[in-house]
Structure formats: structure tokens, C-alpha cells
Chain A
Amino acid sequence: MPDSSTAAAVHGEAHAETHNPALLHHFATEEQQRDASNLGMWIFLATEVMFFGGLFCAYLIYRLKYFGDFAAASTSIDAALGGTNTAVLICSSLTVVIAIWAAQRSRRALMIAMLVLTMLFGLTFLGIKGVEYRDKFVEHHVPGSSFSFEHEEIPGHPGEYANPQHAQIFFALYFIMTGLHALHMVVGLGIFTWLLWMAWKGRFTPDYHTPLEIGGLYWHFVDIIWIYLFPLLYLIDRHR
């Protein structure tokens, strides 16, 4: 490795000039360290895309096969609650970017306020989700032995009823996909609790706030998943 001596020199200089305790020894510069963290997070998100991608693929296959049954099942979900939740998540993404913006300008109070707001939006989302799930339990739309979807008309086909077995596949996908998404929200809330703690202790400076940035990447990714889940699960054939 012919470059190792120069890298070591750069490394030494960076340390001599800044003495930034956040700069780990195996990185030459703060920028290199930040880029490495960002890249690592994006690679993790790539695995998450494939993880959710398999579920979206299963959804597409069964939606093509049992479209009428999927439409009948989808219509039974409260789209207004789902739409509200989409707006809540979008607001939480905005507060995340404002928190990073504030960290870059040493606006500690604003950063902490935005992190708290993000978590409140996240909790609101989970609360609304809980109301939705409760409705499904009350209506016996949860897959399993007590599942019931009898005499539900297929939208646009009066007199034709959805096949309960096929509708059950929709609800299984609905609970797995939104449940996995909700699990990601819970993990996100854990990450943001830690970020809030770090922010409270004054760990984030204009020069070093990488945890905020990569925590934000995760939060935005979970938002993007929901942006697809909302129209796919809640809005099938609503116009009939």
C-alpha cells in the first residue's frame, strides 16, 4: 500500500488541527468518516428494500389473482385514518430535517424541540394504527380461526360476494406489511430516544452530527415504505 504513509500524514494533520474527539482513529478526515457512516446506512436500507420488496411482490401476485376480493377487503379499512397517518409521517419527516438543519447551526433548543416533535408524530402514528387494528379485531377481520368475511359485496359487482379465503390473504398481507412497518416505527422511536439523549447532552455540533443524519435516513426510509403501503392497501377500487 504505497498510499498508507500519506494517509497517515493526513490523519495526523487532521488530529493535530482539530482534536475532534468524535473523529475515530481509522478515518483520515471527518468527511471520510461521515461518508462511510452514510454509505453503511444506505447499504442497510438496500437490504431493507429487498426485505419489504418480497412482501410487495407477494402482494402484487395475489392482487392480480384475486382483484375483486382484494378490493372488497380493502374497502373495509378506514382510508381516512390511513390518509391521516400518511400526513402524520410526512410531518415527522419534516421535523427530522429541521432537527438536522438546527444541529448544523448550533440551534440546540430547536433541534431538541424537533426531535421531541418527531417522536410525538411517531407515537401519534402508532396510536392511529392501534385504533385501526382494534376495528379489524372487532370486525373479525384478523386472519385466524375467528376470521369472518361473509356476504361482503365485491365493489362494482352487485350480488357478487367476495371469497372469504381470498379476502383473508389480503388481511394477512395487510397485517404483516403494516405490522412490520409499525415494528420499524417502534425501532425508529428507540433510535430517536437515543438521539434525543445525545442532543440533550450536547454531543451534536455543526461539525459532528452523523448519528442524526443516519437516524434521519432510517426514519425517511420508513416514511417511503408507508407512502407505498397507503395507496396499495387502503385505496383499491375505492371509486365504485
Chain B
Amino acid sequence: MSEDSTSGHSKSSSLTTYFAVWIALLAGTLLTYEAAKVDLGVFNAAVALIIATTKALLVALFFMHLRHASEKLLKLVVISTLFFLLILLALSMADYGTRAWS
């Protein structure tokens, strides 16, 4: 399939890419479901979050076309969003995580 040659659609990926990402996302879902049944100790949560973040990145980069984003302003919005989310979670955890729970 030669979709990318169509004029003026540099932002779009090929159908092959979309289907490959779709398969990867379904595989990730199965993997996270199966991994939850295996005892990994404290790493169960870490594995679940790593798989979820990988899937989220695949959706954002390929389905939401961030991979082809050329506008710097858009990149600034995305990066600052993640930055402020990190502040929200990290600073809250730094507080609650270090309290002495009874």
C-alpha cells in the first residue's frame, strides 16, 4: 500500500503502521492481564505501569500523530502537561509516602 505518497498528508501514517500498533496494544493488554497473575513481589505494580505507559505512548505517538507533530507550541503543551502531572503526583507522594502510618 502506498498511502504516504498522497499529497499533503504528511501527518498520516500508513494503514500497515496502524494495524501493527493495534496488534501491539492488544498484546500489551493480554500481557498486563497475564503478568498480574504472576507473583513478582513489589514489581507487579511497576510492570503494570510500564506496560500501561508503553501502550499510552503508542496511542499518543501513532494514533494521535504526535510522532509527526512539527509545531513547537504543541510539543510545549504536551511536555508541560506531563511535567505538571509529575509535580502533582511526585510532590504528593513525597509527602504521603514519607509519613509514618500507624
Contact = CB atoms under 8 A, between A and B. Distances in A.
Contact of B63 (A45, A61, A65, A93): A93
Interface string A77-107: 0010001001100110110111011001100
A56 B53 CA distance: 14
B88 A54 contact: yes
Contact of B44 (A46, A207, A239): A239
B8 A105 contact: no
Interface of A is mostly: helix
B89 A56 contact: yes
Interface in B61-102: 62-65, 71, 73-74, 77-78, 80-82, 84-85, 88-89, 92-93, 96-97, 101
Interface residues of A, number: 51
A90 B3 contact: no
Interface residues of B, number: 52
A231 B39 contact: no
**Which secondary structure dominates chain B's binding surface?**
helix
Interface of B: 3, 6, 8-9, 12-13, 15, 18-19, 21-22, 25-26, 29-30, 32-33, 36-40, 44, 48-49, 51-52, 55-56, 59-60, 62-65, 71, 73-74, 77-78, 80-82, 84-85, 88-89, 92-93, 96-97, 101
Given A94-B19, A232-B52, 6 more contacts: A61-B93, A98-B18, A101-B15, A104-B12, A216-B64, A228-B52
Q: Which 9 A-B pairs give the minimum distances between C-beta atoms?
A: A231-B48, A235-B36, A46-B81, A238-B36, A239-B39, A94-B22, A90-B25, A224-B56, A86-B29
11 contacts: A54-B88, A57-B92, A61-B96, A91-B22, A93-B59, A94-B63, A97-B62, A104-B9, A223-B63, A230-B52, A239-B36
